[in-house]
Chain A
């Protein structure tokens, strides 16, 4: 055993051997957290369809809005005038007015935003028929839910704010380390490119791990790196602090140096705000996009600025990696163009453009449905990479552990096995449990979105307790069985609680809901198949581990 320790350990042996050690342990300790981050990120690709499925009462509203958009509605100019009139009457002293006159087709809501006396960002909706303010939504939505946003929030910050963001960031860096060390360790990366030998135990798990990882390797590197860089300034603020100062003032100075040619200070001379329609139309023409928002800095002052922002719904938006919208900034007094940013462009230079492209690459707003499905497939592959890696660790070492933790090794392995079950199968159960909660928690209940989230975390915690209490093989079978049952019964649950079912969804062309249910069914079948395969004996958990030394002595005796 001492010999085993001397030749395999941190920084021991040859370069490849040392990297293999790094890959094993860096990979293992982060595998459970990374699997959760990766799986929820994969689901987040289809955030909107998931939200759509989770808000069935909203469908009628959506259809009504669609019908309403075909009726004649107030023109852009009229909407802008009403917005200005409202702001003039109620918030004339505000330093910034923000008007969202219409959607990309010139219809839809009319909203205005400003910063109130407590510096809170607030809004009001105006009636598109009269310009009068509408009362704030007196009733909350019929079924208050986080929807698909839950998966997004969990993915990048674990629903834990800054601390969660840091944890995910550290995990993402560990993923990059695992990827690099994995490639270094994988000696026959080209020879084994297409190799998969089923039904050979540890060999098969290694082949599966290699296949999902190597075949999607460009994606894995890209998604991890871009994910970190998006929050890069949060993780590495020292450069900003030394050059621009610390805290909020430093951050503002940095943003100013990057973006704005300089927000003008109010001149103190009053000047009536000119009619906005001509500015909006000029902006549309310069940007090549329909108007999304008109932002007025220092309204009523001679130094007022009018910024016109565009909707990213032009034909080119799908073909751009950078997701920034167009912007045309005018001087209210002279009408000259102060700044023009074409769609996809950035206010700064190359580094800013790189930042925007990296963010765009990570969040795949481009390329339409095909790109979303490609990212989804690669995301599932990445999740499988982490799951197979964690399982491979146990499959390889259970028969003869190497005493990495001395006398406690058997107990540590037990914990690792429980973590595997809870992190992989258990997370699956928690995710489908979240959808079950959406249908089971009464729609009118106050703060029901918190209840749904509590179900997600509660089910996951129970899965961990279950995995610690039961022997590993049984835990796998039971949790996979539960996952299969919950998935396969979801359409039935939907029919019983909301009265909607897969057939009806397909008939009315509701591909978002149908897609969610079909994928859930497929997952249920996969989980069921996995459980049967496990029950047949070829298991990923075996008998209690024995130390390697005792096996050797048996062989020599």
Chain B
């Protein structure tokens, strides 16, 4: 896997995962919905954790095991920074971006696995 693709996929998954973890918290779910519904916390947290773990895959594929783990930690931090900026500036757009990046990156990852 080329380093560019690995980086893009990892960053996308990290952003989506961090966004899921963020919106699992009442404080940030409220920023998103404005209302008083409680967030589906358990589901969002599981989804977030899964997406963050998934972000490790393109890293290991692109850079090998050791460097891949270092790269993963970097992308997780970058994704988190993106989330803090996005959620507090424009929570709905951040959520839309997460919905685009998350499944999109997962699909791309699956395609890379399956395609020869």
Interface residues of A (CB under 8 A from B): 191, 193-198, 211-212, 215-216, 218-219, 318-321, 361, 366-371, 374-375, 377-378, 381
Q: Which residues does chain A contribute within 8 Å of B66, judged by CB atoms?
A: 319-321
Q: Which residues does chain B contribute within 8 Å of A361, judged by CB atoms?
A: 70
Asked if B71 and A367 sit within 8 Å, CB to CB, the answer is yes
Q: How far is the CB of A399 from chain B (nearest CB, A)?
A: 25
In the complex, residue of chain B having the shortest beta-carbon distance to the beta carbon of A191: B25
Q: Which residues does chain B contribute within 8 Å of A212, judged by CB atoms?
A: 81
Question: Complex Cα distance A375/B75, Å?
Answer: 10
Asked if B84 and A218 sit within 8 Å, CB to CB, the answer is no
Asked if B67 and A371 sit within 8 Å, CB to CB, the answer is yes
Asked if B63 and A367 sit within 8 Å, CB to CB, the answer is yes
In the complex, residue of chain B having the shortest beta-carbon distance to the beta carbon of A322: B66
Q: Which residues does chain B contribute within 8 Å of A369, judged by CB atoms?
A: 3
Asked if B80 and A215 sit within 8 Å, CB to CB, the answer is yes
Chain B, interface SS category: helix
Closest 8 CB pairs of A and B: A374-B74, A319-B64, A215-B80, A194-B22, A370-B7, A196-B88, A216-B77, A367-B67
Question: Complex Cα distance A393/B54, Å?
Answer: 40
Q: Which residues does chain B contribute within 8 Å of A219, judged by CB atoms?
A: 73-74, 77
Q: Which residues does chain A contribute within 8 Å of B85, judged by CB atoms?
A: 196
Q: A218-B77, A320-B66 are in contact. Are A198 and B71 (CB under 8 A)?
A: no
Cβ of B78 under 8 Å from chain A = yes
Those of B1-25 within 8 Å (CB) of chain A: 3-4, 6-7, 18, 21-22, 25
Q: A196-B84, A219-B77 are in contact. Are A371 and B71 (CB under 8 A)?
A: yes
Question: Complex Cα distance A367/B66, Å?
Answer: 10
Cβ of B87 under 8 Å from chain A = yes
Q: How far is the CB of B58 from chain A (nearest CB, A)?
A: 11
Q: Chain B 36-71 against A: per-residue CB contact (8 Å), 1 yes, 0 no?
A: 000000000000000000000000000110110011
Those of B77-95 within 8 Å (CB) of chain A: 77-78, 80-81, 83-85, 87-88
Q: Which residues does chain B contribute within 8 Å of A195, judged by CB atoms?
A: 27, 84
Question: Complex Cα distance A219/B80, Å?
Answer: 13
In the complex, residue of chain A having the shortest beta-carbon distance to the beta carbon of B10: A370
In the complex, residue of chain A having the shortest beta-carbon distance to the beta carbon of B87: A194
B: number of interface residues (CB 8 Å): 28
Q: Which residues does chain A contribute within 8 Å of B6, judged by CB atoms?
A: 370
Asked if B71 and A211 sit within 8 Å, CB to CB, the answer is no
Q: How far is the CB of A364 from chain B (nearest CB, A)?
A: 9
In the complex, residue of chain B having the shortest beta-carbon distance to the beta carbon of A375: B74
Q: Which residues does chain A contribute within 8 Å of B18, judged by CB atoms?
A: 194
Asked if A321 and B22 sit within 8 Å, CB to CB, the answer is no
Asked if B71 and A370 sit within 8 Å, CB to CB, the answer is yes
Asked if B71 and A374 sit within 8 Å, CB to CB, the answer is yes
| One of A198, A216, A320, A321 near B88 (C-beta < 8 A) | A198
Asked if B67 and A194 sit within 8 Å, CB to CB, the answer is no
Question: Complex Cα distance A371/B21, Å?
Answer: 25
In the complex, residue of chain A having the shortest beta-carbon distance to the beta carbon of B78: A377
Q: Which residues does chain B contribute within 8 Å of A381, judged by CB atoms?
A: 77, 81
Q: How far is the CB of A37 from chain B (nearest CB, A)?
A: 20
Those of B83-114 within 8 Å (CB) of chain A: 83-85, 87-88
Asked if A370 and B3 sit within 8 Å, CB to CB, the answer is yes
In the complex, residue of chain A having the shortest beta-carbon distance to the beta carbon of B7: A370
Q: How far is the CB of B97 from chain A (nearest CB, A)?
A: 15
Q: Which residues does chain A contribute within 8 Å of B67, judged by CB atoms?
A: 318-321, 366-367, 371
Q: Which residues does chain A contribute within 8 Å of B64, judged by CB atoms?
A: 319
Asked if A374 and B84 sit within 8 Å, CB to CB, the answer is no
| One of B27, B63, B77, B84 near A378 (C-beta < 8 A) | B77
Question: Complex Cα distance A219/B66, Å?
Answer: 15
